[in-house]
Chain A
Amino acid sequence: MSLKITFATSARVLQQLRHDPRTLGLMFIVPLALLGLLAWVYSATPRLFDYAGPPLLGIFPFIVMFLVTSVATLRERSGGTLERLLAMPVGKLDILAGYALTFGSLAIIQATLASFAAVHLYGMDVAGPQWLLVVVALAVALLGTSLGLFASAFARSEFQAVQFMPAIVLPQFLLCGLLVPVALLPTVLQWIAHCLPLTYAVDAMKHIATETTVSGRVYVDIAVVLAFALVAILLGALTLRRQTK
């Protein structure tokens, strides 16, 4: 690992995004707009907004980061720049960490904006500390980034990469406990739900939203999400091959 190369990669990814202000704008504005829409939908039943808002705060960064990262790394793979980098004195983790650093920083901004707007603009009631919402959102964003990196290895085109989003994200969305609490799911689905990272993120968000004191469970949830992210990053590193058949 070389910190210098990690930072150079992170700066380079940021430069690329700065030349693409529309993507950057979409990353920040879409979650804000969706949360606003949700608040409007629930305007007659604000309690439901308090119930669904916090988990969605955790799910938006996951989806956005998954998409952005999988397409960005796919470009890097198909454009020949990845092969070029791997033929240079560069560690695979330097490249991955560089991506994670930039997208993680953007996720912090996104999560801060979204949670601030949810609480102060749309009137979402959060019992626990607001900063913890941002921490969970960051963990989820890192998860999205690392899963996106991993998934991009199995996509041959940007069409396929985008299709991985519903394939990987939507099952987690259905089972994470937002639509139906995990305890009320059929037994087999409960097992599956407990193997999926988003379940833990949503659990953490629900606890922060409803409890004034932070229980240890929230930290365990966050640790589980980060562990999934780490495993996905390491699996992603395995998909970066210096040599092909």
Chain B
Amino acid sequence: MHDAAIVVDNLRVVRGKTAALGGVTFTIVPGKITGLLGPSGSGKTTLMRAIIGAQQITSGTLEVLGLPAGHETLRSKIGYVTQMPAVYNDLTTKQNLEYFAAILGVSAQGVSEVLRTVDLEPQAEQLAGSLSGGQIARVSLAVALLAEMPVLILDEPTVGLDPVLRQKLWDLFRSLAKQGRTLLVSSHVMDEAEHCDDILLLRDGKVLSHGTKKALLHDTKTTSVEQAFLKLAGGNHES
């Protein structure tokens, strides 16, 4: 057994007639925040859904914690937050968390802790449907934080949040990574790279680069992730 959390080898996903992912290979080790960066439509969500086992793969292999993606055991090991908040609008914040807590076998105390973590205690009794976009997103995130899952797959969790809150969430992600958990966090905002240990740049279903920000900037001789992306994407066009 190796200690890698996620191993992806030549993963291809074809949806309809187009290749959403065209031969993606990378390895993610535990205890790190990996930023999955790329423009809208680059295949970030497809890749994340493949990792949690919700997306059928066409070819290649995908292992999480040494098991093939979609394995039954992994359902209690991976926390997943979709881009669109997946919560019940006609339940209160607390009722939402209580229901998922019952499924995951988490205590009432666990629910209050998570409520505090995502800063939603004042909104506990409010219907999720009446919350602001950022607040609903945090309810959805809170569900993934209920059970202490070793792997967290977060699809654009910080989009549209105010900068103070965004900073708070990144601090939270950092503390989770320090506990030895694996975090894959997607964003289409290249600036989010500064919070990540590693950056996985995705474009048109292909990995442009994977490594630390420092290495990326060094290799591309640029000063920002945005520039690095442009350089790599441009090079891709010529080939």
Contact = CB atoms under 8 A, between A and B. Distances in A.
A and B from one assembly? yes
Interface string B103-136: 1100000000000000000000001000000000
Contacts of A89: 72, 75-76, 103-104
Contacts of A5: 102-103
Contacts of B103: 5, 8, 85, 88-90
A16 B54 CA distance: 26
Contact of B95 (A15, A20, A85): A15
Contact of A83 (B15, B54, B95, B104): B54
Contacts of B95: 12, 15
A79 B91 contact: no
A19 B90 contact: yes
A87 B75 contact: yes
A163 to B, nearest CB: 23
Nearest to A90: B103
Interface in B135-160: 143
B82 A80 contact: yes
Given A80-B82, A244-B55, A245-B56, A88 B76 contact: yes
Given A4-B102, A8-B103, A242-B54, A84 B86 contact: yes
B56 A243 contact: yes
B26 interface: no
B90 to A, nearest CB: 5
A80 to B, nearest CB: 3
Interface string A190-220: 0000000000000000000000000000000
Interface string A4-47: 11001101100110011000000000000000000000000000
A8 B72 CA distance: 21
A244 B86 contact: no
B22 interface: no
Nearest to B83: A80
Contacts of B53: 87, 242-243
A244 B85 CA distance: 19
Contacts of A245: 15, 56
A118 to B, nearest CB: 32
Contacts of B86: 79-81, 83-84
Which of A8, A79, A81, A85 gathers the greatest number of chain B CB atoms within 10 Å?
A: A81
B91 A244 contact: no
Contacts of A15: 91, 95
A80 B127 CA distance: 17
Contact of B80 (A12, A84, A242): A84
B102 A16 contact: no
Given A15-B95, A88-B76, A88-B104, A243 B54 contact: yes
A9 B54 CA distance: 21
A87 B53 CA distance: 8
Contacts of A19: 90-91, 127
A243 B51 CA distance: 11
Contacts of B99: 8-9, 11-12
Given A84-B82, A89-B75, A12 B91 contact: yes
A86 B102 CA distance: 15
A242 B70 contact: yes
B54 to A, nearest CB: 6
Nearest to B144: A84
Report, nearest first, the 9 A-B pairs whose CB atoms are least far apart. A80-B86, A8-B102, A84-B86, A12-B99, A89-B76, A89-B75, A16-B90, A19-B90, A81-B86
Interface of B: 15, 49, 52-56, 70, 72, 75-76, 78, 80, 82, 84-91, 95, 99-100, 102-104, 127, 143
7 contacts: A19-B90, A19-B91, A84-B86, A86-B54, A87-B52, A88-B103, A242-B70
Given A4-B102, A15-B91, A89-B75, 10 more contacts: A8-B103, A12-B95, A16-B88, A81-B86, A83-B82, A83-B86, A84-B143, A87-B52, A88-B104, A243-B70
